[in-house]
Amino acid sequence: MANQSQLGFQDASSPIMEELVEFHDHALMVALAICSLVLYLLTLMLAEKLSSNTVDAQEVELIWTILPAIVLILLALPSLQILYMMDEIDEPDLTLKAIGHQWYWAYEYTDFKDLTFDSYMIPTTELPSGHFRLLEVDHRIVIPMESPIRIIITANDVLHSWAVPSLGVKTDAIPGRLNQTSFITTRPGVFYGQCSEICGANHSYMPIVVESTPLTHFEHWSTLLSS
């Protein structure tokens, strides 16, 4: 959950999000090095008079041609690795289907016979004390922690987007098409997200709440809900 005046990312709660945060820090360090070098060269040019040998030096031209290519490689390699990791779906322990509607989410646990429900935002007038305004729902998604989860995402009417920042998940929900992604929660907790595609007048009233619990708690919850 983000805090007020927070400048960075939310705390990572999945291996993919940890990789994304690490790549973000890596890219910022590269950008800082480039800015420092450019600032130093600008200061040097303004402070000292350049000779004709400096302006026409072929060695300098060779360096500023090769150096950007090296920088791009340093950014591209970890980026491609993360992209492949995000697309990898390997034998999930649980499959969940999310269907976007105007303006709520419907969920189906496809590994269970009759485990489906709709998830609506709780209005501010009915919100219990201590809960988050515009983020709490009447039915949370409950998943087992440290288990590979596959989520299949689609929409029933217009474009939506299923996004939970702390899990590093954001996938478009498109009518007539099934998109899928996967994630693993590394710790128990409650993770909040929202629809990230403008889908109409009540676009901001489509929160997503994922509750990660130990496996025994998940089995007890699923038994109660499906019975």
- Token couple for 34: 């480039």
CA distance 191 to 147: 16
Q: Please name which of 190, 101, 93, 185 lies closest in space to residue 140, comparing C-alpha atoms.
A: 190
- Mean pLDDT within 208-221: 92
Q: Return the residue matching tokens 């998604």.
A: 141
Encode pLDDT of 91-104 as tens digits.
889 999 999 999 89
Encode pLDDT of 19-68 as tens digits.
999 999 999 999 999 899 889 888 887 887 665 555 566 777 788 888 88
111, 130, 149, 196 from 100: Cα distances, Å: 20, 27, 19, 11
Does the structure show a pLDDT above 90 at 192?
yes
How buried is residue 153: exposed, middle or buried, by Cβ count under 10 Å (0-12/13-18/19+)? buried
Q: What angle do CA 89, 92, 95 make, to 5 degrees?
A: 105
Does the structure show a pLDDT above 80 at 1?
no
Q: Please name which of 148, 146, 140, 150 lies closest in space to residue 118, comparing C-alpha atoms.
A: 140
Please give the sequence-ordered ranges of beta strands (E in DSSP) within 32-137, or none if there are none: 94-101, 104-109, 116-119
The predicted structure's pLDDT at residue 55: 57
Please give the radius of gyration of the chain, using alpha carbons only, rounded to the nearest integer: 24
Count CB neighbours of 185 within 10 A.
Answer: 23
- Mean pLDDT within 74-97: 88
Contact 111, 168 (CB under 8 A): no
Give the global pTM. 0.82
CA distance 188 to 14: 11
- Mean pLDDT within 66-83: 89
Higher pLDDT residue, 60 or 130?
A: 130
Q: Which domains does the chain have, with CATH numbers?
A: 13-85 (1.10.287.90), 92-223 (2.60.40.420)
Considering the chain, what is the average pLDDT of its residues?
A: 88
**Percent with pLDDT over 90 in the chain:** 48
Higher pLDDT residue, 165 or 4?
A: 165
